[in-house]
Amino acid sequence: MRRLHPLRTLSVALLLVLGVACSEQESSEKAMVRQAVAIEQADECHLCGMIISNYPGPKGETYNKSSNSVSKFCSTRDLFSFVLQPENIRQIKEIYVHDMSKTPWQRPEDEYFIDAREAWYVIGSEQKGSMGKTLASFGNQADAEVFINEFGGKLYSFGEITIDVL
């Protein structure tokens, strides 16, 4: 029977511990990034410079891959106008929008941010955002359809939205 060398055994154990510790740190860093941040009273829209909290309708946020910086938007229309630009698509790590089935249209609440890539959108409704017509965002399709019945518009998934649709 072959015996393991103590130094080799210790080295392997140390590598395993370091590997687990690094993956736990990476997971906690990802978890920190995957959370939308509050929109403060004086925050300005990254695209147009308007004060975000002065206007109704859903808002949006993005996280940049390289800098982990947050960009905030006064409307989902401005958010998509930014996100869909070819030079920005590759730089964005996370995208958030308000779930409008859970928060008031006039003052969306920050605890109801959801992953924009999994949301449903209504375009062309009677409801106005900061830049006029906006994309109403919802966490599930059924809520979006209820909204359409009341305010009109057409239903889109994240992947169906293009510059031409905007």
pLDDT per position as a tens digit, 93-146 = 999 999 999 999 999 999 999 999 999 999 999 999 987 899 999 999 999 999
pLDDT tier at 7 (50, 70, 90 boundaries)?
low
- Looking up tokens 């375009």 gives 123
For the chain, the helix, strand and coil percentages under 3-state DSSP, each to the nearest 5: 40, 25, 35
Q: Across the strands, what pairs with 156?
A: 121
Mean pLDDT computed over every residue of the chain: 86
pLDDT tier at 27 (50, 70, 90 boundaries)?
very low
- Looking up tokens 């630009």 gives 85
pLDDT tier at 8 (50, 70, 90 boundaries)?
low
* Contact status, residue 35 vs residue 85, Cβ threshold 8 Å: no
Q: How many CB atoms lie under 10 A from the CB of residue 135?
A: 28
Q: Is 134 helix (H, G, I), strand (E, B) or coil?
A: strand
DSSP state of 51: B
Tokens representing residue 115 in the block: 């992953």
Chain mean position to CA 159: 14
What is the b/e burial string over 91-110, where b = at least 16 CB atoms within 10 angstroms of the residue's CB? ebebbbbbbbbebebeebee
Percent of the chain with pLDDT over 90: 72
